[in-house]
Structure 1
Amino acid sequence: MINRSFTLIWVSQALSDVASEMTSLALPLAVLAATRSAVDAALVATVVGIAQLLAKLPSGLIADTYHRKRLMLLCDAARAAVALLLALALATGNLTTIVAVGSAATIALFSSVFGPAESGVLRQAVPLERRREAITRNIVRSNIAIAVGPPLGGMLLAAGAPTAFFADSCSYLLSLALVARVAYTHVARPRASTAATHPLRNTANELTLGFGWVFRRTGLVVLIAFAAYVNLLGRSIELLAAFGVSHDGAHPVSAGLVLTAAGVGGIAGGLCAGWILKRLTPTAIVAAASVAWLLMMPCASTGDELTSAVAVGMVVFSLPSVGSLVGLTISVEAPTHLQGRVGGAVTLLAISIAWAGPGLTGFLISAQGPLTASVVLAAPMVVPLIVLAASPRLRAAVGKIGTVPAREPEPEPEPESVAAAAEQDVLAHGEPAIQGSPAAATARPSLELDDPLGPFAMLALGLGRARPLP
């Protein structure tokens, strides 16, 4: 792969991603078997979603403040312990709804911290010219987990309830062992010159710095708004397709085909994302994704297994390229000391309305039927096509996504130490320079989208899969 550090992280997270997808299916089913309550089983997924949403901003600040590699190791150790406790609870017949919900929420919180910490470590490990490659490879990694994890979780649960959670615990321990070998140099975040007069006010300001960075970039805001509605549609199309192919629940096995199609489509889209980014403008990529949703949403609601699977696979195929544009912009442009908070802000905005997808879809299906529901849900995808066609300013702003303009040198106070010099370089260039290297003495060239870049962290955008990422 790209280099040793990237390979170690990619392999470690491929293992834990597959295991996490396994338990995302296995835990609600285990609760259902233990309590005979569908409400309790659904509560697990609801609490996980709430925990992830609440943790986005604080986790970004934590990752920007503390040693990122140590945070990754701590998160892996904690998740391994909780997964092992779940396995023991199942093995001894002591699994209750409270234990399941508390364990799931704890794992979700530590995963929320792990994500932005991983992004910061990868930013340092992956050379600038290979980040697009890194982004697309991580998209493929996520979609492999989506395609393989749920059916594997069902098989392990059938083999023995504790097995899936014991495998999950082992995956985190393996991840910990691999991450421990990753090379990473911590650069302390810049500190304000004067102490804040009000600690709570200063904390609120620190938490919202990522939003300020995002909202100063019009093209990125447009792309995130597009991603937010896509995440809502992602949950909707799964429900539409599953409802149709299962024939009101009479054939539940057929519904699993939808999730497999989503994973396969995401893998293919991730593999092709680098090729697409080098040949299409960001505006064309957004337009193509909009057209795909407009055409494929009605196809997914037909009730035919093959048609629905192809439709779901095709819309998910279009998403990794959009996600790569967002991930690339953040990994290249956002300063190192704001990486976590920018990522948290983007993720929070991107999943802000996704929760409404299932409820809205269910209401429309019951009121008008699957076909009408699919047309109503897909209709807003006409808006980005009209807006981009009618507004040259917005079209130009979106077209700049993925291009880093040359930065003007800014006067900086003379650093008092090597650590201070590293902080100043982070502020000026977005990543630490290697002392004594030619690159440290020269200005960075502008980076165009056509440069050969590759897979990085998806910042939990939910792009590249049919439902939002954790």
Structure 2
Amino acid sequence: MSDGAAPDVPLSRNRNYTILWTGQLFSEFAAELTLIAFPLLILSMAGSPLQMGLASSVLAVAMTAAVAPAGVLADRWDRKKIMLICQALRALAISSLAAALYLDSYTFGHLLAVAVVEGVLGSVFQPAEHAALPTVVPESQLSNAVARNAARPFVAMLLGPVAAGYLFALNPISPFLANAVILTISLATMLFLRLPRGGAGAEPAGEPRPQAGFGGQFAEGVRWMLGHRVIRTTMAWAVVANMVFSALLIIILTMSNEDEVGPGEIGLMMASFGLGGIAGAMAAGWLHDVLKPSVVVLGFSWILPAAVALMAVVPTGLPLGAVLGVAAFFAPVANTVVMTYQITATPDELRGRLSGLAALASGAAAAFGPMIGAFLLAGLGDGRKAVLVCAAGLLVVALASTASPVLRRFPAAKPSEAEPVSA
């Protein structure tokens, strides 16, 4: 069983898991709406490309800056309350922007303030949801739950941009109203969430726990992560792979533009990436059960450079999209193996901090990856050569993974493997 008293019923009938899954899906879908609606609004208000870039940067910086403190918060306060407050304040912030548009009182400063609120609270919501998962799902079903969770970002990436563009074409206020409604529905749904008492996210009455300050608790989480060999290794493995793949996406989009691939076909090419990820998430739970963890981790490490090398020779557009989809298929499978181990090996009182640290590492990879891609394009002057450099980088990751005793003998998820906090 899980840490809490979750009944051993199918996930589809697990009420609390369904609420958690839906709440995070709404959160990610709302974030995707915002990501597209902000630049569309700035352009419609005769804003400059500088304003567009500034708004995107403010949103990204707010998200990245908040994830580590958010992990500490998820370990020291009631996780349900955190999620409810986040959704309520996000809905209020985005509603204020819709009201400003309706009243014809829009200002760019107002949009930036909403971007900060959206970035910070979206990041605060995520570790609380991640840390709550093992308390509502039986241990025997945790890998399937993680696999289903892996599908959510791909669903949001597929639907969010399309919905934002369509709604904005109807009326510039529409995507912001829709965002507020989605977050309000999420808030209303999560009122019915039941988390077991006594975990890190909910303090038992009459038994207040002595707590260090935010800085001390964050340092405690970092020490624990660095002291756990498997988690430390998988974190580094994921960061490097994500950074190279983020660089690759910029290179592919540039190549497609240079080859005069139409916007519609580029959209379908990137949709293939999302569809591949959804398909992989659907198969991830089953593959986790039938394959050894080390086979999944090392297999993905070698499939990725092979797929990227193939991208250097296939035509841009739909053929390249098909290869992207194949690569995306295996990502949720590997993530399910790694995340299931991390969740079960981490004590409940540290799960929020681990989630925050993982999100911080992922955000850093996503921030530096595009810059690396741009430097490769500028330095090599040829997109296909840049793709081959990315493939070579991933080949180095595959070789290092194979040489690593930790990844070569990646352990199955066992709660007994949780290690004590380092001093």
1:90 pairs with 2:104: no
Q: Does 1:127 align with 2:142?
A: no
Equivalent in 301, 305, 316 of residue 328 of structure 2: 316
Deviation at 1:385, TM superposition (A): 2.8
Distance 2:211 2:31 in 1: 41
Distance in 1 (CA, whole Å) between partners of 2:13 and 2:345 is 21
Q: Is 1:364 matched up with 2:376?
A: yes
CA-to-partner distance for each residue in 1:141-183, whole Å, 9 max, x for gaps? 2211111111111111111111001000000110011100111
Deviations 1:241-281 (A, max 9, x none): 22223336773333222331121111011011112212333
1:175 aligns with 2:186: yes
> Are 2:275 and 1:264 aligned?
yes
Which shifted more, 186-195 or 332-341? 186-195
Pair 1:258–1:86, CA change in 2 (3 A): farther
Taking the aligned partners of 2:281 and 2:341, their CA distance within structure 1 comes to 17
Output the aligned Cα RMSD: 2.6
**Alignment-derived partner of residue 157 in structure 1:** 168
- Give, in whole Å, the separation in 2 of the partners of 1:250 and 1:37: 26
Question: In the alignment, what sits opposite 2:3?
Answer: none
Residue 235 (str. 1) matches residue 246 (str. 2): yes
Offset at 1:105?
1.5
Change (3 A) 1:252 1:90: farther
Segments of 5+ residues of structure 1 without an aligned counterpart are 197-201, 411-426, 428-470
Q: Which moved more, 1:337-346 or 1:236-245?
A: 236-245
| Matched-pair contact (CA < 8 Å) for 1:268–1:317 | yes
How much does 1:136 deviate?
0.9
Q: 2:197, 2:65 → 1: CA distance?
A: 27
State TM-score, norm by structure 1.
Answer: 0.79
- The sequence identity of aligned pairs, in percent, is 27
Equivalent residue runs for 1:142-221 within 5 Å? 142-187=153-198, 189=200, 202-221=213-232
Superposed displacement of residue 384, structure 1:
3.3
Deviates more, 1:138-147 or 1:240-249: 240-249
Change in 2 beyond 3 A, CA 1:269/1:328: same
Q: Report if aligned partners of 1:16, 1:168 keep a CA contact under 8 Å in 2.
A: no
Alpha-carbon separation, structure 1, partners of 2:50 and 2:13: 45
Q: State the AA in 2 paired with 1:103.
A: V
| Equivalences, count | 403
Q: State yes or no: 1:109 paired with 2:97.
A: no
* Residue of 13, 34, 40 corresponding to 2:45: 34
- C-alpha separation between the residues in 2 aligned to 1:161 and 1:217? 49
Tell me the SS of whatever aligns to 1:95: coil
Counterpart CA distance in 2 for 1:376 and 1:390 is: 21
Question: Alignment partner for residue 354 of structure 2, among 333, 342, 358?
Answer: 342
Query: What amino acid is the match of 2:272?
Result: A
Report the TM-score when normalising by structure 2. 0.87
Tell me the CA shift for residue 307 of structure 1. Answer: 1.7
> What stretches of structure 2 of length at least 5 have no aligned partner?
1-11
Which residue does 1:442 correspond to in 2?
Answer: none
**Aligned partners of 2:377 and 2:383 also within 8 Å:** yes
